[in-house]
Amino acid sequence: MFRKPIVAGTLALALISFGSGALANARVTVGHFAPFAPTLQGTSVSIRVNGQTALQNVQFGQFTEYLTLGGAGSYTVEVLPTGTNTVAISATLDLADNTDYTVLAVGDGSNQALSLLPLVDDNSAPPAGQVKVRVVHAAPFANTLAATEVSVRDNNNAIVGGLGRVPFKGASGYLNLPAATYDLKVATPDGNTTLIDPKPAALPAGGILTLVATGGANGYATGITAIAAGAAPSNPLSTFAIGPVKVRVAHFAPFAATLDGTAVRVQVNGAEVLSNFKFREFTSELDLTQGSYQIEVFPQASATAAISGTVELDGNKSYTLAAVGNGSLQPLALQQFEDRNGAAPAGQYALRIAHTAPFAASAEATSVSIRTDGGDVVAGLSSVPYGAASGYLELPTGTLDVKVATPDGNTNLIDLAPLNLPAGAIATAYAVGDGINQPLGIVAIPVGDVPLEANVDQSVDGIWFNPSLSGQGWSFHSLPSQNRLVGAWYTYSNDGSGRHLWYTLDSCRSAPGASTCAIPGGFDNREVELSIYESEGGLFNQPAPVVTRDVGVMTVRFLSCTQAELRFQIGSFTSATVPISNLIPKPGCSL
């Protein structure tokens, strides 16, 4: 009865699985029944879904098995003749969750316009002993709808299922028929002229079939193609699938003062996929399918969504979806970051920096700079507002030692411990926390929490002394913008002459007279190694030349805001540990 179809293969998209919950999906069978060229090769097309090539080299008469798409939403489908950028058919399909569809490309571009014919499938089982059949008219053999009308009849010329006048693009409902061998035909509405007369065919009990009348233009004979629901294709198309969407979910919303208080539930398209998800946590990469997704974030014990939004995800791309804001200074929201796929160039790694730390109420007040420990601005990132992200910086493999500071660099906000990323790595460093509910910090994806160093501030500034060393003392002054400590030491010579000496101290450890810092960022607000410089030759209130020499090294360990200990070496003399105290502690000391 039926002409054997040319069957297409799958569009390999995985069913959505996200954490512990499965999401609803739409499934689609795609068929090419548009005889717009006189050769099969000439009918070859590619099919794009939401701008991404999904199928290639699809010829007239071919169809796919069910393809799993994303959840409910609008999908733009475009059909292009192979080898061209010309869109022959374009349509937007609104698909529902948990629903199956058949979408057919029809028309010949002459008698009948090229178009898509979407059909909603009913894959519920037919009654016992019966077969479920749907009939679709996709044969553009005449240039008016009235002239394309046909009837479906049995071998006694009786009309079947009331199908006495079916126009082009017409589709019956599903007919429940007794399982049997049928000898059907397609004829003119009056039944006087047979148009398609297939051989008798057995229709099995429990089967669900869509019978498509095809051909009738550009030299293609009319015929019937049978599409069986759920049947695996036996002659796959050469396909290029829309690749899976890679998605991470991250929680960067410090809306509560305890980690347990930040716990949330995440729902996607109404299905719960994450539970007890806390601030600073992120998921591994999850495979989704292209489409629109409704994301809702609920405080763990609440039925009211704190964040709700729709995201559009494209195939062959990677994303991080982050919950951000603290609900007071910055609103709770969902922020979508498109991640980089592939590897960094040989010998390099790729690093992106994103600002998701809601520590102030205005964009200007949240602006930060990204600097080396020595104070140099990194990649022009001198004023990055909340919510912004840099591009990916391709950096040579090695140790990265950077910090987050105010735009002027004078106040350090987050100081990263040295970070090593291997060649080829791709990572994003997210500034997180609000400094109120949760401390400021860095989460690097996919690395995790990044260890921090103490922010260099002016906690150690002041005049330091040892009571047993009368008439002697140390003055220290921090330069937070450079993670640098400078100072002076007032003491006496060690030759017994009682000569006063005034040494200068610097953590840069540079040669005297150098214009650059030999060891930039050498101070971490706790421990420091300083060069000891001695200057000679000057005259009081006169511009006499001065000679400065590097005469030794001093190591200082600050134990608290008021206590420290130091050791020094000048020439061959090495001191014991000297305890010192801050005579004038700095207000707001952070040690």
* Three-state DSSP string of 229-253: CCCCCCCCCCCCCCCCEEEEEEEEC
Per-residue pLDDT of the chain (591 residues; tens, 9 = 90+): 222 232 332 222 222 233 333 345 788 989 999 999 988 789 999 999 988 888 888 888 888 888 877 677 889 999 999 999 999 999 999 988 889 999 999 999 999 999 999 999 999 999 999 999 999 999 999 999 999 999 999 989 999 999 999 999 999 999 999 999 888 999 999 999 999 888 788 888 898 989 999 999 988 878 888 888 754 433 332 222 344 578 999 999 999 999 999 999 999 878 888 999 999 999 998 877 666 788 999 999 999 999 999 998 876 789 999 999 999 999 999 999 999 987 788 889 999 999 999 999 988 899 999 998 888 999 899 999 999 999 999 988 888 889 999 999 999 999 988 888 888 889 999 999 999 999 999 999 998 888 888 888 999 999 999 999 988 999 999 999 899 999 999 998 877 787 888 999 999 999 988 888 998 888 999 999 999 999 988 788 888 888 999 999 999 999 999 999 999 999 888 888 999 999 988 888 888
> Where are any strands of DSSP class E within 401-517?
402-405, 412-416, 419-421, 426-432, 441-445, 448-449, 452-453, 462-465, 473-479, 484-492, 500-506
Rounded to an integer, what distance in angstroms lies between the CA atom of residue 591 and that of residue 181?
90
Residue pair 423/546 in contact (Cβ under 8 Å)? The answer is: no
Which tokens go with 54? 């999904």
Rounded to an integer, what distance in angstroms lies between the CA atom of residue 254 and that of residue 434?
7
Q: Which is it for the CA torsion 49, 54, 60, 62, positive or negative?
A: negative
Report pLDDT for 538: 79
Residue listed under structure tokens 């996919």: 446
Residue pair 336/248 in contact (Cβ under 8 Å)? The answer is: no
Report pLDDT for 445: 94
3-state secondary structure of 501: strand
Strands 333-339 and 318-324: antiparallel
Report pLDDT for 343: 79
Bond from prior residue into 587 cis (ω within 30 degrees of 0): no
Rounded to an integer, what distance in angstroms lies between the CA atom of residue 298 and that of residue 19?
16
Which tokens go with 332? 């709770």
Report pLDDT for 315: 66
Whether the model pTM is above 0.85: no
Report pLDDT for 301: 92
DSSP H helices in 344-480: 363-366
Output the CA–CA distances (angstroms, integers) from residue 21 to 252, 266, 268, 345, in the order listed. 22, 10, 9, 37
φ, ψ at 42 (rounded to 5°): -70, -20
For Cα atoms 405, 407, 412, give the angle at the middle one, nearest 5 degrees: 20
Rounded to an integer, what distance in angstroms lies between the CA atom of residue 507 and that of residue 489?
14
Output the CA–CA distances (angstroms, integers) from residue 534 to 155, 275, 489, 529, in the order listed. 115, 64, 10, 16
CA 368 distance to own-chain centroid: 23
Rounded to an integer, what distance in angstroms lies between the CA atom of residue 341 and that of residue 287?
14
Which tokens go with 333? 């929201």
Report pLDDT for 21: 34
Q: Within 10 Å of residue 556's Cβ, how many Cβ atoms?
A: 25
Strand partners, 116: 105
For residue 147, give every residue at least 6 positions away whose Cβ sits within 8 Å of its Cβ, in sequence order, or none.
Answer: none
Rounded to an integer, what distance in angstroms lies between the CA atom of residue 42 and that of residue 46?
12
